[in-house]
């Protein structure tokens, strides 16, 4: 009941500790050929496939908040959670953690708020390109609950049935850690996503 009450209680910005300071990449580390740059106080994706991860702490039993906007229809990115070790390549998080997807044009299994090809989004709430979106990811033991713009769109409990893996780039199936590193995905050189907030309520 306590966990349910927390989910139903609106979280204000004052409740959250910023992980991105709006100035530089202090506390963050990049892996892969892509990169993130800081532009006007925001993180901006550039270049090829990459993963920017927060290297100072692992997170479990908390709420992660990411505020983002796309620049065109179908821009692709994601928030990677539950990585048990620091990633050495950009695919580590996909296959060893979970990617909470950002893609406003994909099917329900790959749409914003889904756990990429594992647990589908049950509402399509991403705003139009250029508008800001708030994604809250609630981690409670083996349960992951995702809210997009204030509405619950996904809940996944470790061990639930999942679709058969279809493509090589879809995540390897199997259990994930209850806590781990978190990161932001840069998908490719064609997609541009801005992040103005990455924060946590422990």
Instruction: Give the helix/strand (H/E) hosting 94.
Output: helix 92-96
**CB of 132 within 8 A of CB of 117?**
no
CATH no. for residue 128? 2.60.120.560
What does the buried/exposed string (b/e) look like for 159-178 if buried means 16 or more CB atoms within 10 Å of the residue's CB?
eeeeeeeeeeebbeeeebbb
pTM: 0.92
Domain range for 107 is 2-161+170-201
Total domains in the fold of the chain: 1
**CB of 40 within 8 A of CB of 182?**
no
Backbone angles phi, psi at 14, to 5 degrees: -65, -20
Find tokens 């991403």 and name the residue: 126
Say if residue 4's pLDDT is above 70.
no
What pLDDT digit, counting tens, does each position of 133-165 carry? 999 999 999 999 999 999 999 999 999 999 999
The string of DSSP letters for 151-180 reads EEEEEEETT---PPP-STTSPPPS---SSB
Q: What is the pLDDT of residue 6?
A: 52
What pLDDT digit, counting tens, does each position of 28-51 carry? 999 999 999 999 999 999 998 999
């Amino acid at each position: 009941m306590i966990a349910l009450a927390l989910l139903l209680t609106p979280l204000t910005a004052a409740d959250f500790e910023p992980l991105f300071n709006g100035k530089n990449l202090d506390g963050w580390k990049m892996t892969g050929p892509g990169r993130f740059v800081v532009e006007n106080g925001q993180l901006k994706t550039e270049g090829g496939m990459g993963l920017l991860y927060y290297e100072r702490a692992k997170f479990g039993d908390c709420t992660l908040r990411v505020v983002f906007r796309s620049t065109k229809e179908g821009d692709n990115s994601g928030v990677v959670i539950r990585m048990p070790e620091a990633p050495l390549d950009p695919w580590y998080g996909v296959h060893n953690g979970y990617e909470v997807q950002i893609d406003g044009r994909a099917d329900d299994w790959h749409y914003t708020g889904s756990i990429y090809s594992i647990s589908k989004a049950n509402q399509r709430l991403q705003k139009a390109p250029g508008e800001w979106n708030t994604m809250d990811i609630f981690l409670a033991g083996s349960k992951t609950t995702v809210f997009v713009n204030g509405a619950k769109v996904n809940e996944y409990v470790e061990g639930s049935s999942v679709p058969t893996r279809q493509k090589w780039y879809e995540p390897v199936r199997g259990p994930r850690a209850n806590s781990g590193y978190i990161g932001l995905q840069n998908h490719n050189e064609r997609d541009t996503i801005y992040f103005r907030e990455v924060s946590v309520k422990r």
